[in-house]
Amino acid sequence: MKIVILDRATLGLDIDLSKLNQFGEVKTYDYTNEKDTIDRLIDCDIVITNKVLITKEVIDNTNLKLICVSATGTNNVDVEYAKHKKIEVKNVAGYSTISVAQLTFSLVLNFIQKLNYYSNYVKNGNWHKSEIFTHIDKPFMDLGGKTWGIIGLGNIGERVGKIAKAFDCNINYYSTTNMNFNTSYNTTNLTTLLETSDIISIHCPLNEKTKDLLNYENMKLLKNGAIIINVARGGIINEYDIPKILKEKNLYFGLDTVSIEPIEEDSPLNEILEHENVVITPHIAWASVESRNRLIDGIYKNIERFINE
């Protein structure tokens, strides 16, 4: 059995993959360009891919038996055609819930506590010049008592809700599918959620219904001082509208995903990278050490089940 990993670097070089060797020969590539995909898979039985596309052309020109996606989403694989060709496609669900929720709160607490300002106050040598023991010129707030709006109450959204509740936040959620009937929190429509929330975190998939879900027109409904966190998918917030709305309202944006990754040189978000109300991280929410090890365990189990069937 030959296994090929097409984008090893996306898993992190600190993660041990040696357990996969027991299934056969394992060939790894840090990165794979589209033009090289077929050549690298020509005699492969099992492919492991995070973002490299496994298209109809790839499937037709290889002899794949199993496609393992080292992620939850399978949008980089032509799943229907693979099914037609009787090739199994396996993803790993739930491995990153803790990690994504953790970054969500890291971003929120950074904004609400004004950590950068106070850290820089000390680093710049201002504290030792103070005549009093403290410095509180930049007001910060309690998280408790704030209204937290969750867009997409799946596993991650529900985890965020539980933690926010422990901080004594009031939780509302908007179901982008209208098919979530969770009664632990109050459900509401998008307009009401935008109008009433102090904090909004996004945990829904990107699809035709959620593309540009937040845009210039409806972001005008947000409270001044509202915090918006997107750890889901770029494109759910219209990226051209973020710089536009920041010129009109005091809002905070914590973004871990953008519409095209890595971020492009001409992205409209580049003009606000130095804005004190903006933090953009390079799609790291899923990737704690523990999360990535859970991911490898999931891939291992998917291959093991396939071989033993």
Residues tagged active-site:
233, 261, 283
First and final CA of the chain: distance in angstroms? 15
Q: How many beta carbons lie within 10 A of that of residue 220, not counting itself?
A: 12
| Rounded-to-integer distance, Cα 9 and Cα 28, Å | 9
CA distances from 204 to 33, 49, 181, 230, 250 (A): 29, 22, 15, 9, 25
| Rounded-to-integer distance, Cα 152 and Cα 284, Å | 19
Paired tokens of 79: 């799943």
| Rounded-to-integer distance, Cα 285 and Cα 112, Å | 19
| Rounded-to-integer distance, Cα 103 and Cα 86, Å | 38
Paired tokens of 200: 């909004």
| Rounded-to-integer distance, Cα 109 and Cα 229, Å | 11
